[in-house]
Structure 1
Amino acid sequence: MEKKPVLSIGIIFKNEIRCLERCLKSLAPLREAANCELVMADTGSDDGSREIAERYADILFDFPWVNDFAAARNAVIDRCSGEWYFSLDADEWLDEDIQEFLWFLNGGGENWDFAFITERNYYSYDTNGNYGTFMPWRLMRLSLGVRYEGAIHEHWASAPKYRNLGLGKTLIHHDGYVCMYGPEGKEKRERNMKLLRKKLEEDPDSLLSRLQMIESGGEEPDYLDQVREAVRLVQKKASGWDTLGPSIFRHAINSGRTLRLPELEEWIHIAEELFLDSYFIRMDAAFNIAAYYWGKENFDACVHWGEIGLRAYEDFRAGKGDIACQLYGSLQTTGPLCEMGLRIVLARGYFEVGREDEALALLGGLDFSVLDPQWTDNFLETMQMVYFRSEREIGPLLADAWEGIRAEKPNREWGEKRRAQFIQTGGKTFTAGYQKTETKDASFRRHVWGMYKALEGRCVLGTAAAILESDSPAEIEELLLTVENWDELPVSALAHAVMVGTAFPVLGRPMRLEELDTLAARLVREREDLSDILKCVTGADFSGSWQSLTWARALVLAAVRAYDWKDGEKGLYLAHVFAKVERAFLVGCYTSEVLREENLLALPAMHRFGWYCAEAFDALEIGDSVEYIRLLRKGLVSCESRKDMVEFLINHTPELQTPPPSPELLELAEKVRAMLAAYSPDDPAVAALKASPAYQKVSYLIESAEPLGGQNAR
């Protein structure tokens, strides 16, 4: 006779092709170590999920969906024959550490009727970021005959009346909530909302149904109405207020902060008075409250709640306090990332109230390899604040942080994301705009970029800081040789290098044209005026130095494209530099045959325009202003995007401008104009006057549409 299974595993599913096999594979160690049966109900799959289930299930049957989760799960229980029943969902998977689970099945559960297990709810599919925890009842002694209740969020309602054990080391992973608020979760949301609204119609005062509506209905138009009504019912002390109230107030506070609700501070005070012993308030809500008060610059309150949260994490990790509150809701901030985030917020609060030693101690105790890009940014901004507003030495802490942030934990991709965010956040402090803001601050002591000097030899920001602190071209050249990624080097460091006379590109480190173009474009975006840099770069002889010429070409092209040609102050200088560099580049790169006007179509548009500009300035130099204008206009035909530059040159080239008329000439023009006004236009005297030498001298003044004295025509 076949031995009765010690464990029946029950699963209901519909169209779970994404995750079903992962779930079933995770059960293999348990099924190999204990006598188990796997019973599965398909409630209407058409995506291939059933074919997967057929390879794993001991019992597989169809159960037509009747909008009732309890009915489906009870149908599974009815087909089970084990001593214990274990419920699992398709979007969950059992952790590989099953020693405690086996202990329970092999006699450890003898004196118990139910067991609840920690479930980890991930907020992203890669499971590397944040998560919350829940402790649902998942193991039941089948002989009790207890049934599931509830069309949605089904549960064993009578479980608290029996002997319950928490399996604290057994873990269920769950990523089914990741998609709930995206397009792929729309069908599930609509299904859930329909069932929950039906429950509320049947019992409007049900705090459990209100809580479930809040947890699942964040996108619903009446979400805030549900939150406010749930708060009202808790204050009214409706049935279950003491067990469900903490989770409800946690959601209310978090929504209040996110949506900037006027009731927020009132809810904070009520939660502190009624539920401060609950992890929903002292951990989940405390995280948001501390951040809220930081934003309000109420730093004493920020510290108060930050310390509450920090103590809560210490107690939670030690298994102290109301751990079983997770039976009534999911704690949302139990992951280490949230704890690191709270430490950063509290450190900011400490610093603001003058407790700098405690702030730095908190920051020094961070596990930097846990941070995500957002908290990496927050940490670094906190460090920058400390450096800017104090004389603290933070170099060693910053160096430790850099090593942890770029660590390949939990994998290489995650470490690279943090590293990239570190470079991006730190790089902003090197910009002219950032430094201009710093010097306007009354508390200004030192530029924030200086803190990155501690990373010299480890990070490109350390290299940039070392360059900015040096005036030695040879020393800077050695530093530039260590740059591995030019896209990450703050261009302010490169500008400084050029201004102090460092040859660039560095000898022995040739660079591609594309790299130089990118650097030049970044320099143009960063600096309002490139005149000084252009003088340094273009003042030398380019013969025999292709790298220098290519760098000069990149700079002038970027400058010409970005320059506001309505501003004439530096335009003529830029145009001359452009023509000079283009002439050198074209002669060096192309044959004389190509550089004939009839063959210029072989060149890129900007080089065609550059050729015409160079020729135009040659013509102007020998006094041929007519040829100068012709060549500029031909250049415009070859590159229409340079219209603003051509118009500028024609209107601002000194050789094309007529000197303003003398007072004597203006006086003569007025006399001639008065004489003309005395006759009819068709009078023969008018024709005779216009033929006179006097009229010819001042005709352009009289016939001009502009007032006398305002003329500056060509």
Structure 2
Amino acid sequence: MIVKNEEKTLDRCLSSLKPLMEAVESELIITDTGSTDSTVEIAKKYTDHIIHFEWCDDFSAARNTGLKEARGEWFLFLDGDEWFENTDELIEFFTSGECDRYGSASYVVRNYTDSSGKNYIDFHALRLNRVIENCLFINQVHEAMPRITPTKFFKDYAHHYGYVCYSRRERMKKSQRNIRLLEMELEENPLNLKAYYELSREYFGFYDLDTVEYYCTRGLKIEEEHPDHIWKLSIFQSYVKALYKGKAYQKVLELVEKMVREDPQMEIIWMDYHYYAQNAAFQIRDYERSNSHGLAYLKVYEQYQAGRLDNNMLLFANFDHIKETDKEQVLYLLGVSFLFLHNYKEVEKIIDQLDSLDPAVLGHGLLLISRMCAETEKWEQLASFYQNKRSVEASYKIDIMKEIEAVLPLEEKMRADAAIAFAALPDKDDAYVRMNCLRNEESNGDKDAVECELDWFLRWEGKWSTVYSDVLFFAMQEKMNILKFILKIEVDEFRPIIDNMQKHHNNFPEVIKEYLKSYSFENLKGLYWSICLRENLLMMETKNFAANEDEMKFFIEYARQSAKYVRSIFRSELLSPDRVTILPRAYRFGFYMGQALAAQEKSDSESYLRNLRFALKSYEGMNRPISVLLDYFEQEEKLRREKAEEFNKLAKQVKERIKILISQGKLKEAGQVTAQLAALMPNDPDVVKFRTLTHTEPDMKELAAQLPQ
């Protein structure tokens, strides 16, 4: 192994090798190329044979340093960010003596493209070779040993999350380094076809399709003069992929058809060719041609799975589309193309092949059935599909129902037709069948039958999910108290269920608003349901928030309920301005709105304004209604200031008149005017003085001296 700064992954890598090293006499040689973290310390837990190598921009040189010190008959190499799931096949290979019949071996490196663990590209890496004198690694980057045939192909695989764990910046930096080293190799050997292929792959990382095409066309031109069938196929794969990504669909078709026509030997890599060609033809709506390539793909796939093709090609390219999920995608596209060609018999054959319980594949099959049902206006096939799956495990059944709901069209008549087909199924103890009966009765306007179906769900003890959102919607439409339903449902399902209602019912806003006028919930779970309903409506209307009296009342009630809910579920010591910041945003919003409304009742404008602004920062989804409240406040403040200015202006005029009356000795009249002003400004200093002066028999000179200035 060669390593550098692998402290995050090295321990897992070496630990996965322990079963192999315990079963087969082995030595572990680690070449460190300048680690500055704890990589070397981790390595010392597994081996004393650690070589310190000064990095020289040459991976082969680093590998060869370890290889030259190897004393075994075989040499296995891997990277520090890879680890084996299982090494049983490798152990059996060596302990059974099977290794004596081979010169090299390859296992699968599973390169993950995201952190979910579901999306990956498998690559057969030649990682085991017999140790033969002067058989060394070559190439500065993407180093490899000359293959010693025959080669054993293992199914065991090593996980590799390196492309996911690294940041985009780190990945780009590694690619730039690789590109620099590959270009150096081409300067030394312009005929190195492997370097052209690897450069095309590196530039895919930058999505620089022009440069990918440049290196592919150069490599293919050189191959014409210096034939190398293996690298021709690999470079051609990159070229076709680049053309497809660049939407040169016609050119993809021409090149692939020319290649397979001129090359009589079927190759594994043809799967990638036909995959891109099928999709290219589909994009230009040439469905016959698309089907031709789809069927050709399936033929190669079948030969590959049966072990009838030469596996050696697996060592010379990163195959993009040879997995089971790729085959399912090919089948789906075949089905859609046959659908466009109105060849329903072929569509049904494809559906039979897609009949799988794997949710990733299930979606393709159901979508195809749905499209055919919509095309033929017959939904019995979709209902029949469900009927055939009703005995599966509950978790799979929920997946099936969710997928069926996902593929049903949004068009109201089609959904109604589908409901009729499902309602006709014989199993009336099945909740999904009963829900479609409910849909059907609601569509027919049969209130008694609707009530009967809703009563069935009240007694039902099954697991609730988004699939049954229509049950709650129709219950609210019938103004039914749904608390018994709500108490059966996990609160995490509330928002997805409500989102589903809103998606499928155009009258959702009207139904919910009417329902909320009729029902309020003291129960905490019911209160949260009400909050989620109001929130959904407000989020729907936030861009076109009318800001009329009804809309503002609706929002204020939402805010009051949110504040009440927050006070009910959190301890009082958490609900203080200095600690509330640790709460999730929706709860912070509820706290601040509660504080704002309380301040408003106390006429504490400063606190009201401050808490509104905190609420706005906490929950940007409520930006519009809170902004309206802030605008109202500003308008009211402006009006108050204007009134105050007008009042002060009038008061000043009255004061001047009082002064004149007093100075003229008209104390009685001045006292009457002062009494009127005192009713409005009882504590005003001038008014207080006026009252004193008008109730005294003064000396006129002294009186004039005491008048306010």
How many angstroms apart in 1 are the aligned matches of 2:534 and 2:277?
A: 53
Tell me if 1:426 matches 2:405. Answer: yes
Output one character per residue of 1:182-227: Cα deviation in whole Å (capped at 9) or x when no partner.
3332332222111011122333443221101112221347542332
Partner residue in 1 for 2:140 = 151
How many angstroms apart in 2 are the aligned matches of 1:561 and 1:95?
A: 46
Partner residue in 1 for 2:334 = 346
Output one character per residue of 1:111-160: Cα deviation in whole Å (capped at 9) or x when no partner.
54x21313232324668424444334333332443111111122223x3x
CA 1:99 to 1:328, structure 2 compared with 1: closer, same or farther past 3 Å?
closer
Contiguous gaps of at least 5 residues in structure 2: 443-449, 564-591, 602-624, 634-709
Alignment of 1:143-292 (within 5 A): 143-157=132-146, 159=147, 162-179=148-165, 182-220=168-206, 223-231=209-217, 233-234=219-220, 237-261=224-248, 263-275=251-263, 277-279=265-267, 281-292=269-280
How many angstroms apart in 2 are the aligned matches of 1:609 and 1:369?
A: 58
Partner residue in 2 for 1:465 = 436
Partner residue in 2 for 1:23 = 13
Would you say the 8 A contact 2:19–2:87 is kept in 1? Answer: no
Partner residue in 2 for 1:62 = 52
Partner residue in 2 for 1:134 = 123
CA 1:556 to 1:607, structure 2 compared with 1: closer, same or farther past 3 Å?
farther
Q: Which residue identity does 2:184 align to in structure 1? A: K
CA 1:219 to 1:451, structure 2 compared with 1: closer, same or farther past 3 Å?
farther
Tell me if 1:75 matches 2:75. Answer: no
How many angstroms apart in 2 are the aligned matches of 1:477 and 1:370?
A: 34
Give the 3-state SS of the residue equivalent to 2:369 in structure 1: helix
Would you say the 8 A contact 1:423–1:461 is kept in 2? Answer: no
How many angstroms apart in 2 are the aligned matches of 1:287 and 1:218?
A: 18
Would you say the 8 A contact 2:502–2:508 is kept in 1? Answer: yes
Partner residue in 1 for 2:682 = none
Tell me if 1:435 matches 2:406. Answer: no
Q: Which residue identity does 2:453 align to in structure 1? A: E
How many angstroms apart in 2 are the aligned matches of 1:59 and 1:583?
A: 69
Alignment of 1:37-116 (within 5 A): 37-99=27-89, 101-104=91-94, 107-112=97-102, 114-116=103-105
How many angstroms apart in 2 are the aligned matches of 1:510 and 1:503?
A: 14
Partner residue in 2 for 1:656 = none
CA 1:525 to 1:229, structure 2 compared with 1: closer, same or farther past 3 Å?
closer
Q: CA deviation at 1:80?
A: 1.0
Contiguous gaps of at least 5 residues in structure 1: 1-10, 409-414, 587-600, 611-637, 647-714
Greater alpha carbon shift after TM alignment, 246-255 vs 318-327 = 246-255
Would you say the 8 A contact 2:197–2:216 is kept in 1? Answer: yes
TM-score, structure 2 normalization = 0.66
How many angstroms apart in 1 are the aligned matches of 2:521 and 2:19?
A: 73
Q: CA deviation at 1:68?
A: 0.7
CA 1:407 to 1:518, structure 2 compared with 1: closer, same or farther past 3 Å?
closer
Q: CA deviation at 1:32?
A: 1.6
Partner residue in 2 for 1:314 = 302
Output one character per residue of 1:237-272: Cα deviation in whole Å (capped at 9) or x when no partner.
143442112222222222222231363333333333
How many angstroms apart in 2 are the aligned matches of 1:515 and 1:121?
A: 35
How many angstroms apart in 1 are the aligned matches of 2:492 and 2:72?
A: 69
Give the 3-state SS of the residue equivalent to 2:177 in structure 1: helix
CA 1:295 to 1:45, structure 2 compared with 1: closer, same or farther past 3 Å?
same
Would you say the 8 A contact 1:34–1:102 is kept in 2? Answer: no
Would you say the 8 A contact 2:521–2:530 is kept in 1? Answer: no
Q: CA deviation at 1:333?
A: 2.6
Alignment of 1:626-645 (within 5 A): 641=628
Q: CA RMSD in A?
A: 5.1
How many angstroms apart in 2 are the aligned matches of 1:235 and 1:584?
A: 72
Q: Which of these residues, 369, 379, 394, is aligned with residue 383 of structure 1?
A: 369
Q: Which residue identity does 1:68 align to in structure 2? A: D
Q: CA deviation at 1:311?
A: 1.9
Q: Which of these residues, 456, 475, 479, is aligned with residue 453 of structure 2?
A: 475
Q: Which residue identity does 1:537 align to in structure 2? A: Y
How many angstroms apart in 1 are the aligned matches of 2:491 and 2:415?
A: 40
How many angstroms apart in 2 are the aligned matches of 1:338 and 1:310?
A: 10
Q: CA deviation at 1:524?
A: 6.4
Partner residue in 2 for 1:679 = none
Q: CA deviation at 1:64?
A: 0.9
How many angstroms apart in 2 are the aligned matches of 1:345 and 1:315?
A: 21
Point out the structure with the larger helix share.
Answer: 2
Q: Which residue identity does 2:511 align to in structure 1? A: I
Output one character per residue of 1:400-447: Cα deviation in whole Å (capped at 9) or x when no partner.
679889868xxxxxx99xx4x9738835847xxx226xx6xxxx6965
Greater alpha carbon shift after TM alignment, 531-540 vs 208-217 = 531-540
Give the 3-state SS of the residue equivalent to 1:166 in structure 2: strand
Partner residue in 1 for 2:641 = none
Give the 3-state SS of the residue equivalent to 1:196 in structure 2: helix
Q: Which has the higher contact order (CA 8 A, sep 6+)?
A: 1
Would you say the 8 A contact 2:244–2:276 is kept in 1? Answer: yes
Greater alpha carbon shift after TM alignment, 521-530 vs 127-136 = 521-530
Output one character per residue of 1:434-471: Cα deviation in whole Å (capped at 9) or x when no partner.
226xx6xxxx6965566776799999876653431234
Alignment of 1:489-508 (within 5 A): 489=467, 494-500=472-478, 502-506=480-484
Q: Which residue identity does 1:322 align to in structure 2? A: D
CA 1:118 to 1:270, structure 2 compared with 1: closer, same or farther past 3 Å?
farther
Give the 3-state SS of the residue equivalent to 2:109 in structure 1: strand
Q: Which residue identity does 1:84 align to in structure 2? A: W
Would you say the 8 A contact 2:419–2:437 is kept in 1? Answer: no
CA 1:482 to 1:50, structure 2 compared with 1: closer, same or farther past 3 Å?
farther
Q: CA deviation at 1:66?
A: 0.8
TM-score, structure 1 normalization = 0.66
CA 1:121 to 1:352, structure 2 compared with 1: closer, same or farther past 3 Å?
same
Would you say the 8 A contact 1:119–1:174 is kept in 2? Answer: no
Would you say the 8 A contact 2:32–2:40 is kept in 1? Answer: yes
CA 1:395 to 1:156, structure 2 compared with 1: closer, same or farther past 3 Å?
same
Partner residue in 2 for 1:591 = none
Would you say the 8 A contact 2:422–2:433 is kept in 1? Answer: yes
Would you say the 8 A contact 1:70–1:148 is kept in 2? Answer: yes
Give the 3-state SS of the residue equivalent to 2:204 in structure 1: coil
How many angstroms apart in 1 are the aligned matches of 2:406 and 2:113?
A: 28
